[in-house]
Amino acid sequence: MKRLRDSLDSKYLKICLYAGVTVIVTAIVFLLLYLTGGVWRKIWNVFLAVLKPMILGGVLCYLLAPLENRIEKFLNRNGNKNWTKAVAVALTYVLILVAIVILIVLIVLTMYKSLSVISIDGIKEFYYSMTADLADFENVINEAFEKIGLPINKITGLFGSLVSGVAGFFSLLLFGIIFSVYFLIDGQNIGKYFRRAFRLLFGEKNNDQLNIFLNDADQAFSGYIRGQFLDAFIVAVLTSVALQIAGVPSAIVVGIFTGIGNLIPYCGPIVGYVVTAVVCIPGGDWVKLIIGLIVIAVVMFVDGNVINPRLLSSSIEVHPLLVIAALLGGGVVGGLVGMIVAVPIAALLKIQLDRYLDKKEQKGASHEQQ
Protein backbone atom coordinates (compact mmCIF):
# COMPACT_ATOMS: atom_id res chain seq x y z
CA MET A 1 0.00 0.00 0.00
CA LYS A 2 2.86 2.37 0.85
CA ARG A 3 4.53 1.64 -2.47
CA LEU A 4 1.28 2.32 -4.30
CA ARG A 5 0.82 5.60 -2.44
CA ASP A 6 4.41 6.64 -3.16
CA SER A 7 4.01 5.80 -6.84
CA LEU A 8 1.02 8.12 -7.18
CA ASP A 9 1.63 11.69 -8.21
CA SER A 10 0.33 13.94 -5.43
CA LYS A 11 -0.56 16.68 -7.92
CA TYR A 12 -2.84 14.45 -9.99
CA LEU A 13 -4.21 12.88 -6.82
CA LYS A 14 -5.35 16.30 -5.59
CA ILE A 15 -6.92 17.04 -8.97
CA CYS A 16 -8.86 13.75 -8.87
CA LEU A 17 -9.91 14.44 -5.30
CA TYR A 18 -11.17 17.93 -6.15
CA ALA A 19 -12.99 16.61 -9.24
CA GLY A 20 -14.65 13.85 -7.20
CA VAL A 21 -15.75 16.25 -4.47
CA THR A 22 -17.08 18.66 -7.13
CA VAL A 23 -19.13 15.89 -8.76
CA ILE A 24 -20.54 14.75 -5.42
CA VAL A 25 -21.43 18.29 -4.31
CA THR A 26 -23.02 19.03 -7.71
CA ALA A 27 -25.08 15.84 -7.51
CA ILE A 28 -26.24 16.71 -3.99
CA VAL A 29 -27.19 20.23 -5.06
CA PHE A 30 -29.21 18.96 -8.06
CA LEU A 31 -30.86 16.35 -5.84
CA LEU A 32 -31.88 19.01 -3.33
CA LEU A 33 -33.18 21.22 -6.12
CA TYR A 34 -35.19 18.32 -7.50
CA LEU A 35 -36.66 17.41 -4.12
CA THR A 36 -37.51 21.03 -3.29
CA GLY A 37 -38.62 21.99 -6.80
CA GLY A 38 -42.06 23.12 -5.67
CA VAL A 39 -40.61 25.53 -3.15
CA TRP A 40 -38.21 27.08 -5.63
CA ARG A 41 -40.99 27.34 -8.20
CA LYS A 42 -43.10 29.31 -5.73
CA ILE A 43 -40.16 31.56 -4.90
CA TRP A 44 -39.56 32.14 -8.62
CA ASN A 45 -43.23 33.00 -9.17
CA VAL A 46 -43.13 35.50 -6.30
CA PHE A 47 -39.96 37.01 -7.76
CA LEU A 48 -41.60 37.39 -11.18
CA ALA A 49 -44.75 38.84 -9.61
CA VAL A 50 -42.63 41.63 -8.13
CA LEU A 51 -40.20 42.02 -11.02
CA LYS A 52 -42.76 42.42 -13.85
CA PRO A 53 -44.58 45.51 -12.49
CA MET A 54 -41.24 46.95 -11.39
CA ILE A 55 -39.88 46.67 -14.95
CA LEU A 56 -43.11 48.10 -16.37
CA GLY A 57 -42.90 50.96 -13.88
CA GLY A 58 -39.31 51.66 -14.89
CA VAL A 59 -40.27 51.75 -18.57
CA LEU A 60 -43.20 54.10 -17.90
CA CYS A 61 -40.96 56.31 -15.77
CA TYR A 62 -38.34 56.45 -18.52
CA LEU A 63 -40.92 57.39 -21.16
CA LEU A 64 -42.79 59.93 -19.05
CA ALA A 65 -39.76 61.55 -17.43
CA PRO A 66 -39.27 64.20 -20.18
CA LEU A 67 -42.90 65.38 -19.93
CA GLU A 68 -42.77 65.35 -16.13
CA ASN A 69 -39.51 67.33 -16.12
CA ARG A 70 -40.99 69.98 -18.41
CA ILE A 71 -44.06 70.35 -16.20
CA GLU A 72 -41.88 70.52 -13.09
CA LYS A 73 -39.67 73.22 -14.62
CA PHE A 74 -42.77 75.21 -15.53
CA LEU A 75 -44.06 74.93 -11.95
CA ASN A 76 -40.62 75.82 -10.55
CA ARG A 77 -40.43 79.14 -12.38
CA ASN A 78 -41.10 80.92 -9.05
CA GLY A 79 -38.43 78.93 -7.21
CA ASN A 80 -40.77 76.91 -4.98
CA LYS A 81 -39.66 73.24 -5.08
CA ASN A 82 -41.47 71.83 -2.05
CA TRP A 83 -44.56 70.55 -3.83
CA THR A 84 -43.87 70.74 -7.56
CA LYS A 85 -42.51 67.21 -7.99
CA ALA A 86 -45.66 65.43 -6.83
CA VAL A 87 -47.91 67.87 -8.67
CA ALA A 88 -45.89 67.44 -11.88
CA VAL A 89 -46.23 63.64 -11.66
CA ALA A 90 -49.98 63.94 -11.05
CA LEU A 91 -50.43 66.34 -13.99
CA THR A 92 -48.40 64.03 -16.22
CA TYR A 93 -50.75 61.12 -15.60
CA VAL A 94 -53.80 63.37 -15.90
CA LEU A 95 -52.64 64.45 -19.36
CA ILE A 96 -52.03 60.83 -20.38
CA LEU A 97 -55.48 59.83 -19.08
CA VAL A 98 -57.14 62.70 -20.94
CA ALA A 99 -55.37 61.70 -24.16
CA ILE A 100 -56.52 58.08 -23.77
CA VAL A 101 -60.11 59.15 -23.09
CA ILE A 102 -60.12 61.42 -26.14
CA LEU A 103 -58.75 58.58 -28.28
CA ILE A 104 -61.43 56.17 -27.03
CA VAL A 105 -64.18 58.72 -27.69
CA LEU A 106 -62.91 59.30 -31.22
CA ILE A 107 -62.80 55.56 -31.87
CA VAL A 108 -66.36 55.09 -30.58
CA LEU A 109 -67.66 57.98 -32.68
CA THR A 110 -65.92 56.64 -35.78
CA MET A 111 -67.36 53.16 -35.28
CA TYR A 112 -70.81 54.66 -34.76
CA LYS A 113 -70.57 56.70 -37.96
CA SER A 114 -69.28 53.72 -39.93
CA LEU A 115 -72.02 51.42 -38.67
CA SER A 116 -74.75 54.02 -39.17
CA VAL A 117 -74.20 54.07 -42.92
CA ILE A 118 -74.69 50.33 -43.22
CA SER A 119 -78.10 49.35 -44.50
CA ILE A 120 -80.47 48.29 -41.71
CA ASP A 121 -82.49 46.20 -44.17
CA GLY A 122 -79.34 44.32 -45.12
CA ILE A 123 -78.62 43.57 -41.48
CA LYS A 124 -82.18 42.29 -40.95
CA GLU A 125 -81.99 40.09 -44.03
CA PHE A 126 -78.67 38.66 -42.89
CA TYR A 127 -80.05 38.04 -39.40
CA TYR A 128 -83.15 36.22 -40.66
CA SER A 129 -81.10 34.03 -43.00
CA MET A 130 -78.75 33.17 -40.15
CA THR A 131 -81.68 32.37 -37.85
CA ALA A 132 -83.18 30.02 -40.44
CA ASP A 133 -79.96 28.05 -40.69
CA LEU A 134 -79.07 28.29 -36.98
CA ALA A 135 -79.41 24.57 -36.30
CA ASP A 136 -77.11 23.63 -39.18
CA PHE A 137 -74.67 26.35 -38.15
CA GLU A 138 -74.54 25.01 -34.59
CA ASN A 139 -73.85 21.49 -35.84
CA VAL A 140 -71.02 22.77 -38.01
CA ILE A 141 -69.49 24.59 -35.04
CA ASN A 142 -69.73 21.51 -32.81
CA GLU A 143 -68.13 19.31 -35.48
CA ALA A 144 -65.33 21.83 -35.96
CA PHE A 145 -64.57 21.87 -32.23
CA GLU A 146 -64.65 18.08 -32.05
CA LYS A 147 -62.22 17.78 -34.97
CA ILE A 148 -59.64 19.95 -33.22
CA GLY A 149 -60.20 18.09 -29.94
CA LEU A 150 -61.99 20.93 -28.19
CA PRO A 151 -65.46 19.92 -26.97
CA ILE A 152 -68.00 22.66 -26.64
CA ASN A 153 -68.14 22.24 -22.85
CA LYS A 154 -64.55 23.47 -22.61
CA ILE A 155 -65.45 26.88 -23.98
CA THR A 156 -66.44 28.06 -20.51
CA GLY A 157 -62.98 27.10 -19.26
CA LEU A 158 -61.37 29.06 -22.06
CA PHE A 159 -63.58 32.03 -21.26
CA GLY A 160 -62.54 31.82 -17.61
CA SER A 161 -58.88 31.75 -18.63
CA LEU A 162 -59.45 34.78 -20.84
CA VAL A 163 -61.06 36.70 -17.99
CA SER A 164 -58.21 35.71 -15.68
CA GLY A 165 -55.66 36.87 -18.25
CA VAL A 166 -57.39 40.23 -18.67
CA ALA A 167 -57.56 40.68 -14.90
CA GLY A 168 -53.86 39.83 -14.63
CA PHE A 169 -53.01 42.37 -17.31
CA PHE A 170 -54.87 45.18 -15.57
CA SER A 171 -53.35 44.18 -12.23
CA LEU A 172 -49.88 44.33 -13.78
CA LEU A 173 -50.69 47.71 -15.33
CA LEU A 174 -52.00 49.10 -12.03
CA PHE A 175 -48.93 48.09 -10.02
CA GLY A 176 -46.66 49.20 -12.86
CA ILE A 177 -48.22 52.67 -12.69
CA ILE A 178 -47.75 52.69 -8.91
CA PHE A 179 -44.05 51.81 -9.30
CA SER A 180 -43.64 54.45 -11.99
CA VAL A 181 -45.13 57.13 -9.72
CA TYR A 182 -42.61 56.31 -7.00
CA PHE A 183 -39.78 56.21 -9.54
CA LEU A 184 -40.77 59.61 -10.91
CA ILE A 185 -41.09 61.19 -7.47
CA ASP A 186 -38.04 59.64 -5.77
CA GLY A 187 -36.03 58.33 -8.72
CA GLN A 188 -32.91 60.37 -8.01
CA ASN A 189 -32.56 59.09 -4.44
CA ILE A 190 -33.24 55.50 -5.54
CA GLY A 191 -30.62 55.82 -8.28
CA LYS A 192 -28.04 57.28 -5.88
CA TYR A 193 -28.58 54.42 -3.42
CA PHE A 194 -28.12 51.67 -6.00
CA ARG A 195 -25.11 53.38 -7.61
CA ARG A 196 -23.46 53.65 -4.19
CA ALA A 197 -24.23 50.01 -3.41
CA PHE A 198 -22.88 48.85 -6.78
CA ARG A 199 -19.69 50.88 -6.35
CA LEU A 200 -19.02 49.49 -2.88
CA LEU A 201 -19.80 45.89 -3.86
CA PHE A 202 -18.10 45.67 -7.25
CA GLY A 203 -15.45 48.40 -7.18
CA GLU A 204 -14.87 51.72 -8.88
CA LYS A 205 -13.73 50.24 -12.20
CA ASN A 206 -16.88 48.17 -12.70
CA ASN A 207 -18.96 51.15 -11.59
CA ASP A 208 -17.38 53.29 -14.32
CA GLN A 209 -18.08 50.59 -16.91
CA LEU A 210 -21.68 50.40 -15.74
CA ASN A 211 -22.07 54.18 -16.06
CA ILE A 212 -20.68 54.03 -19.61
CA PHE A 213 -23.12 51.25 -20.49
CA LEU A 214 -26.08 53.14 -18.97
CA ASN A 215 -25.13 56.29 -20.91
CA ASP A 216 -24.95 54.26 -24.12
CA ALA A 217 -28.33 52.70 -23.34
CA ASP A 218 -29.86 56.10 -22.66
CA GLN A 219 -28.43 57.42 -25.91
CA ALA A 220 -29.85 54.52 -27.92
CA PHE A 221 -33.27 54.41 -26.26
CA SER A 222 -33.85 58.12 -25.77
CA GLY A 223 -32.66 58.89 -29.28
CA TYR A 224 -34.93 56.29 -30.81
CA ILE A 225 -38.02 55.75 -28.64
CA ARG A 226 -38.61 59.38 -27.71
CA GLY A 227 -37.80 60.39 -31.27
CA GLN A 228 -40.31 57.83 -32.52
CA PHE A 229 -43.02 59.17 -30.23
CA LEU A 230 -42.43 62.71 -31.44
CA ASP A 231 -42.39 61.46 -35.03
CA ALA A 232 -45.67 59.59 -34.43
CA PHE A 233 -47.25 62.80 -33.12
CA ILE A 234 -46.10 64.79 -36.17
CA VAL A 235 -47.33 62.08 -38.55
CA ALA A 236 -50.70 62.00 -36.77
CA VAL A 237 -51.10 65.78 -37.07
CA LEU A 238 -49.99 65.95 -40.72
CA THR A 239 -52.18 63.01 -41.73
CA SER A 240 -55.22 64.35 -39.88
CA VAL A 241 -54.90 67.83 -41.41
CA ALA A 242 -54.26 66.54 -44.94
CA LEU A 243 -57.14 64.06 -44.80
CA GLN A 244 -59.44 66.72 -43.35
CA ILE A 245 -58.62 69.05 -46.24
CA ALA A 246 -59.20 66.19 -48.70
CA GLY A 247 -62.63 65.52 -47.16
CA VAL A 248 -61.90 61.98 -45.99
CA PRO A 249 -64.36 60.92 -43.24
CA SER A 250 -63.02 60.54 -39.68
CA ALA A 251 -59.76 62.16 -40.70
CA ILE A 252 -58.60 62.74 -37.12
CA VAL A 253 -59.09 59.10 -36.14
CA VAL A 254 -57.26 57.89 -39.23
CA GLY A 255 -54.41 60.29 -38.47
CA ILE A 256 -54.17 59.15 -34.84
CA PHE A 257 -54.07 55.48 -35.78
CA THR A 258 -51.51 56.16 -38.49
CA GLY A 259 -49.30 57.96 -35.99
CA ILE A 260 -49.63 55.15 -33.44
CA GLY A 261 -48.82 52.57 -36.11
CA ASN A 262 -45.78 54.59 -37.10
CA LEU A 263 -44.24 53.83 -33.69
CA ILE A 264 -43.29 50.50 -35.24
CA PRO A 265 -41.06 50.96 -38.32
CA TYR A 266 -42.77 50.18 -41.64
CA CYS A 267 -46.16 49.61 -39.92
CA GLY A 268 -47.50 53.17 -40.09
CA PRO A 269 -48.57 53.06 -43.77
CA ILE A 270 -50.24 49.67 -43.36
CA VAL A 271 -52.29 50.83 -40.37
CA GLY A 272 -53.21 54.06 -42.16
CA TYR A 273 -54.38 52.23 -45.29
CA VAL A 274 -56.47 49.74 -43.29
CA VAL A 275 -58.19 52.40 -41.13
CA THR A 276 -58.87 54.55 -44.20
CA ALA A 277 -60.52 51.58 -45.88
CA VAL A 278 -62.59 50.87 -42.75
CA VAL A 279 -64.02 54.41 -42.61
CA CYS A 280 -64.56 54.80 -46.36
CA ILE A 281 -65.79 51.44 -47.65
CA PRO A 282 -69.03 51.17 -45.55
CA GLY A 283 -70.26 54.45 -47.04
CA GLY A 284 -69.09 53.62 -50.57
CA ASP A 285 -66.70 56.61 -50.67
CA TRP A 286 -64.36 55.04 -53.23
CA VAL A 287 -62.99 58.33 -54.52
CA LYS A 288 -62.19 59.54 -51.02
CA LEU A 289 -60.64 56.17 -50.28
CA ILE A 290 -58.22 56.54 -53.18
CA ILE A 291 -57.48 60.15 -52.21
CA GLY A 292 -56.87 59.10 -48.59
CA LEU A 293 -54.47 56.34 -49.63
CA ILE A 294 -52.53 58.79 -51.80
CA VAL A 295 -52.38 61.36 -48.99
CA ILE A 296 -51.05 58.78 -46.51
CA ALA A 297 -48.46 57.60 -49.03
CA VAL A 298 -47.23 61.20 -49.53
CA VAL A 299 -47.09 61.88 -45.77
CA MET A 300 -45.15 58.66 -45.20
CA PHE A 301 -42.72 59.53 -47.99
CA VAL A 302 -42.04 62.94 -46.45
CA ASP A 303 -41.73 61.42 -42.98
CA GLY A 304 -39.36 58.65 -44.05
CA ASN A 305 -37.04 60.92 -46.03
CA VAL A 306 -37.16 64.24 -44.13
CA ILE A 307 -38.84 64.24 -40.70
CA ASN A 308 -37.79 60.90 -39.19
CA PRO A 309 -34.07 61.13 -40.07
CA ARG A 310 -33.83 64.63 -38.55
CA LEU A 311 -35.60 63.57 -35.35
CA LEU A 312 -33.36 60.55 -34.92
CA SER A 313 -30.13 62.32 -35.84
CA SER A 314 -28.97 62.26 -32.19
CA SER A 315 -29.11 58.46 -32.04
CA ILE A 316 -26.80 55.95 -33.66
CA GLU A 317 -27.43 55.20 -37.31
CA VAL A 318 -28.82 51.70 -37.79
CA HIS A 319 -28.64 49.93 -41.14
CA PRO A 320 -32.06 49.00 -42.63
CA LEU A 321 -31.09 45.31 -42.66
CA LEU A 322 -30.39 45.49 -38.92
CA VAL A 323 -33.76 47.21 -38.42
CA ILE A 324 -35.60 44.42 -40.26
CA ALA A 325 -33.70 41.70 -38.41
CA ALA A 326 -34.37 43.42 -35.06
CA LEU A 327 -38.08 43.75 -35.84
CA LEU A 328 -38.38 40.06 -36.74
CA GLY A 329 -36.54 38.95 -33.62
CA GLY A 330 -38.36 41.40 -31.37
CA GLY A 331 -41.73 40.30 -32.72
CA VAL A 332 -40.97 36.65 -32.01
CA VAL A 333 -39.66 37.30 -28.50
CA GLY A 334 -41.94 40.09 -27.24
CA GLY A 335 -44.74 40.66 -29.74
CA LEU A 336 -45.78 44.28 -30.28
CA VAL A 337 -43.71 45.58 -27.35
CA GLY A 338 -40.73 43.60 -28.57
CA MET A 339 -40.98 45.18 -32.01
CA ILE A 340 -41.04 48.67 -30.46
CA VAL A 341 -37.90 48.16 -28.36
CA ALA A 342 -36.04 45.84 -30.76
CA VAL A 343 -34.41 48.59 -32.82
CA PRO A 344 -32.98 50.59 -29.86
CA ILE A 345 -31.68 47.33 -28.35
CA ALA A 346 -29.99 46.57 -31.67
CA ALA A 347 -28.57 50.10 -31.65
CA LEU A 348 -27.23 49.57 -28.12
CA LEU A 349 -25.58 46.30 -29.15
CA LYS A 350 -24.02 48.07 -32.12
CA ILE A 351 -22.64 50.79 -29.81
CA GLN A 352 -21.07 48.13 -27.58
CA LEU A 353 -19.60 46.35 -30.60
CA ASP A 354 -18.17 49.63 -31.91
CA ARG A 355 -16.58 50.29 -28.50
CA TYR A 356 -15.02 46.84 -28.45
CA LEU A 357 -13.68 47.21 -31.99
CA ASP A 358 -12.26 50.65 -31.17
CA LYS A 359 -10.42 49.21 -28.15
CA LYS A 360 -9.02 46.36 -30.24
CA GLU A 361 -7.92 48.83 -32.91
CA GLN A 362 -6.23 51.08 -30.32
CA LYS A 363 -4.41 48.10 -28.78
CA GLY A 364 -3.23 46.99 -32.22
CA ALA A 365 -1.99 50.50 -33.02
CA SER A 366 -0.10 50.74 -29.70
CA HIS A 367 1.59 47.36 -30.31
CA GLU A 368 2.67 48.45 -33.79
CA GLN A 369 4.19 51.65 -32.38
CA GLN A 370 6.15 49.64 -29.81
pLDDT for residue 314: 53
Determine contact, residues 342/354, Cβ cutoff 8 Å.
no
- Higher-pLDDT residue of 146 and 310 is 310
Half-sphere exposure at residue 131, Cβ-oriented, CA atoms within 13 angstroms: 6
**d(Cα 341, Cα 326) in Å, to the nearest integer?**
9
- Higher-pLDDT residue of 47 and 317 is 47
Distant-in-sequence contacts of 104-112, Cβ < 8 A, 24+ apart = 106/250, 106/252, 106/253, 106/256, 107/253, 109/250, 109/253, 110/250, 110/253, 110/279
Q: What average pLDDT does the chain have?
A: 76
In this model, does residue 121 exceed pLDDT 70? no
Distant-in-sequence contacts of 155-159, Cβ < 8 A, 24+ apart = none
Determine contact, residues 315/227, Cβ cutoff 8 Å.
yes
Determine contact, residues 197/204, Cβ cutoff 8 Å.
no
What does the pLDDT average to over 15-26? Answer: 76
**Sign of the CA dihedral running 127, 132, 138, 139:** negative
Residue 7: pLDDT band by 50, 70, 90 thresholds?
Answer: low
Determine contact, residues 58/218, Cβ cutoff 8 Å.
no
Residue 328: pLDDT band by 50, 70, 90 thresholds?
Answer: confident
- Higher-pLDDT residue of 223 and 208 is 208
pLDDT tens digits for range 58-106:
888 888 888 888 888 888 876 666 678 888 888 999 998 998 888 788 7
Q: What angle do CA 278, 281, 283 make, to 5 degrees?
A: 115
C-alpha distance from residue 312 to each of 42, 149, 195, 345 (Å): 44, 50, 29, 15
Can you give the pTM of this predicted structure? 0.64
One-letter amino acid at 192 equals: K
What does the pLDDT average to over 206-214? Answer: 84
pLDDT for residue 344: 81
Q: Which of 42, 21, 40, 44 is nearest to 32 (CA)?
A: 40
What does the pLDDT average to over 240-261? Answer: 86
CA-only gyration radius of the chain, Å:
30
pLDDT for residue 150: 53
pLDDT tens digits for range 134-191:
555 555 555 555 555 555 555 555 556 666 667 777 888 888 888 888 888 888 888 8
Residue 129: pLDDT band by 50, 70, 90 thresholds?
Answer: low
pLDDT for residue 171: 83
In this model, does residue 297 exceed pLDDT 80? yes
Of 43-47, 107-111, 137-141, 248-252, give the range with the top mean pLDDT.
248-252
pLDDT tens digits for range 339-365:
777 878 888 888 888 888 888 888 777
pLDDT for residue 329: 81
Environment class of residue 326 by beta-carbon count within 10 Å: exposed (0-12), middle (13-18) or buried (19+)? Answer: buried
**d(Cα 192, Cα 211) in Å, to the nearest integer?**
12
- Higher-pLDDT residue of 234 and 109 is 234
What does the pLDDT average to over 16-40? Answer: 73
- Higher-pLDDT residue of 45 and 302 is 302
In this model, does residue 315 exceed pLDDT 60? no
Phi, psi of 276 (to 5 degrees): -60, -40
Determine contact, residues 236/258, Cβ cutoff 8 Å.
yes
**d(Cα 231, Cα 223) in Å, to the nearest integer?**
12
First-to-last C-alpha distance (Å) of the chain: 58
What does the pLDDT average to over 260-282? Answer: 82
pLDDT for residue 12: 63
In this model, does residue 248 exceed pLDDT 60? yes
C-alpha distance from residue 239 to each of 98, 125, 292 (Å): 21, 38, 9
In this model, does residue 370 exceed pLDDT 70? no
What does the pLDDT average to over 55-59? Answer: 84
Q: Which of 32, 51, 114, 92 is nearest to 284 (CA)?
A: 114
